[in-house]
Structure formats: structure tokens, C-alpha cells
Amino acid sequence: MGRIKARITGSVKSFVEEHRPRTKVKRSAEDIFAGIESPRDEEGNEIMIQVRNLSKIFGRHPEEALALLEEGKTKEEVQNMTSNNVGLYDVSFDVRKGEIFVLMGLSGSGKSTLERCMNRLIEPTSGQVLIDGLDFTSLNEEDLRIARREKMSMVFQNFGLLPHRDVKNNVAYGLEMQGVPESKRLEKAAATIELVGLAGYENSMPSDLSGGMKQRVGLARALATNPDILFMDEAFSALDPLIRNDMQDELIKIQSELDKTVIFVTHDLNEALKLGDRIALMKDGRIVQVGTAEDILQDPADEYVGRFVREVDRTKILTASLFMRKPKSVLYVTQGPRTALRIMDDYDRNDMLVIDRRNHLVGMVESDDILKAVQSGDKDLSKIVMDIPSVGPDTPMSEVIQIMVTTDFPIPVIDGDGVLLGMVSPSVAAETLNIGGGE
């Protein structure tokens, strides 16, 4: 009797053990990426994304088209021979951690398809995408969702704002998907809105915003979840040129602060040259060349790239406006010398540009001269300001560099009315133009 009883209680116990409700631990991206080391390239850079032999065929019989492509048929031939459309064929490249990687090409070159295959908005036909060393293409649906929520986000060409939500709830959308409680996600959203310069518009509806502001919201939404990777699909193409320029500067600024890995799709060569740490040029679903802006301008891989680049006069592309940065701080000519010293000390500089109240450039002061001014009891900086050479935004960099050689200071960039736009510092120019010898 005892044995039977023991057996019954035993099986009841195991049944209960098996079926009792468990406190389900929420799976996070950390679980998915656990134990996987991020790979590095030969130069020791951390690699964020590896794309391996990625192909995408649109149509009913992709294997057929892939076989023909392997025989060396072109995209056009395959499309004529089968009913399939070749989106991508055999694309491979690495994206380093923290770089802005630009996918650039004409419409139909497959750049948007490639980007969407990388976050699987479009399922690739064959090949792999590895993110932080993990095979992203093999993730099941749940893990894919988790990875998308926590690891990456996207900015869209036509902004993709939800029309029924105000700015803060649009920005909070990704956090909402992560299950962040409302008060906390709105708090985070407000901070991100401030980061993109839209503080005060939290309660506006998207329809009340201008194009540039809408895309700031789009950018804020993508940044709010603090992802490692930002996919940007023609993000600034719908904006007019002036605002586009602002947004490009904003992206560079934010990127340098937050150190995201950005995949940026564009058809605009100037935008690619300005933003891209490295650029991949695409044609007919393949990558023709990957390299820095300078690599591509100086050494186009083939006739196609060459034609692309030649259409834009090099001296015209490489103008001061491309290399100028906003100065971290400036002095006003009406400020007293003691204030000026404090500011220069705060920014750890020995020289600084001086402007008047209407942002016109007056010149530059050096700390030694200010010390003298303090001793002689001057009330403002007007006596000690030096004239320095300045350039316009369209001045070719070759000229800027010639001027730079004759002076130790950054070169201010001013417009026709003398308003200070920015400055080109020797280090920036040297780095970007690869004239390392001057450093």
C-alpha cells in the first residue's frame, strides 16, 4: 500500500512541478547576444555588421535566377530570361562600430533593398547578415523582434510619423514596444526630444510640424531606445537643401556624442561625401566600390564610379563649407577682458574668434594680449582684436589650405555680409584630406 501511495504522490508532485505557472523571465537582446564576441578586422576595429554574400531575388523562382547569376549572367539578362527581379546579388562588406557607413547609388541600384535586408524588413534570399558576430538572418521571429526593439532602429524617408500620436508619443513608440512603463518612457522621450532640439513641441501633432521638424522627431524616435545601430533610409532627401544641411550637421554632432553605428542610404553624392566615414557605391544590385570619400574621389574603382564622380567638379565639392565646424565658443567684442579669459580658460584655448552682436566676424584675440589688456584696464576687446584671413563657404579647400599654411590659427568662414558661419581647423582639414604630413 505504502509503495503505491508513494508512487501516486510522486507522480502528482511531478505533474504539479511540470504544470505550475512559472514566472516567465522576459527575454532580452542580452540573452540573444550572450556569449558572442564582437569580431574585429585586421586593423583591430570592432565590427558591428558583417554582410556575407547577401542576395535578394524578387519573384516566384529565386533559385532559378540565382543559378543564372552564378553562371555570370547580368541582372538585365536574368530579368529577361526569367520572371524574377534581381534586387541584390552576392553583396559582402563589413561595417565598423561607430562609423557612418553610406550606401549610395542611383534609384534601382538596390541600396534601399540592401538596407532592408540588413534589418530583415525584406527577407534576403540567400546569404548572411551578422550583427555583433551573431547570425541575424537565422533568428526566429520572437528573437528578431527583440533584437529590433533593443539593438537597432530606423529613420524613414517620408518620416513615418504616426499621424494619430503627438510628438512625445511618437518618440516613445520604440520604448512602448520594449514594455517601458508610460511615465518612464515619456521621461526618456522628453530627453531625446531635447537632444534633437525640439524641446517645447512634445505635445504637437505631426501635422503641425515642418518637414525638418518632422524628421527631427523621426530621428528622436530612432534614438530614444538607445540602439547600437541606426538605419537611415534617404532620411534627408525629402527636405529642402538648407534644412538638409542642418540635419546633416545635426547627425554628425549627435553621432559624435552618442557613437552609434549608422547605415545611411542616399542617392546624393555630396551627402555621401559629407556624412560617410566610408561609402559603398552600388550599381545593379552589387557593390562597385567601398572606401572613404577620398578613396572614391581619387581612385574610382571602375568606369561607372568614375563617371559618377566626374560629373561633380572636385574643387567644387571640396569647399570650405564641407569642412567647417561651428566653433565651440566665440567671444563678443563688447565683453570685458576678464570674462574673455574665463571663457577661454573654460574651453582650454589660447585663441578665440571675436564677433559683434550681429554675428559679424571682428577678428581674433590671443590670451597673452588679453592679459595685457587686463593690466592696462581696458573695458572691452576692441583694441586687441587682430585681423585674420577669412574665406567664404564656397572657397575651394585647395585655397583654404594655402592660407592655412601661412597662419597657425583656424580659418573662419564668413558669408557675403561678414556673418560668421563656422571655421576650418587645421586638424579637420588635414585628417579629411589625408595630408597627414602637415600635422
Which positions touch another protein (CB under 8 A)? 116, 119, 121, 144-150, 152-154, 156-158, 160, 162-164, 173-174, 176-178, 221, 225, 231
Measured CA to CA, the distance from residue 355 to residue 220 in angstroms comes to: 33
Write down the least CB distance from residue 260 to another protein, Å.
Answer: 15
- Nearest residue (CB) to another protein, 122 versus 252: 122
Write down the least CB distance from residue 160 to another protein, Å.
Answer: 4
Write down the least CB distance from residue 32 to another protein, Å.
Answer: 12
DSSP character string of 132-162: TTEEGGG--HHHHHHHHHHHEEEE-TT----
- Nearest residue (CB) to another protein, 121 versus 343: 121
- Nearest residue (CB) to another protein, 158 versus 335: 158
Write down the least CB distance from residue 198 to another protein, Å.
Answer: 18
- Nearest residue (CB) to another protein, 150 versus 369: 150
> Which residue intervals of 311-439 are DSSP H helices?
314-317, 320-323, 337-346, 367-376, 397-406, 426-433
Write down the least CB distance from residue 119 to another protein, Å.
Answer: 6
Grid cell in block for residue 73: 549572367
- Nearest residue (CB) to another protein, 176 versus 250: 176
DSSP character string of 165-212: S-HHHHHTHHHHHHT--HHHHHHHHHHHHHHTT-TT-TT--GGGS-HH
Write down the least CB distance from residue 103 to another protein, Å.
Answer: 16
- Nearest residue (CB) to another protein, 152 versus 209: 152
The sign one gets for the Cα dihedral 329, 332, 333, 335 is negative
Grid cell in block for residue 225: 531606445
Place of cell 541600384: 109
**Residue 273: enclosing H or E segment and its boundaries?**
helix 269-275
**Residue 15: enclosing H or E segment and its boundaries?**
helix 2-19
- Nearest residue (CB) to another protein, 151 versus 244: 151
SS3 16: helix
Up-side HSE of residue 31: CA atoms within 13 Å toward CB?
9
Write down the least CB distance from residue 98 to another protein, Å.
Answer: 21
Write down the least CB distance from residue 129 to another protein, Å.
Answer: 15
- Nearest residue (CB) to another protein, 122 versus 388: 122
Residue of 189, 194, 148 whose CA lies nearest to 166? 189
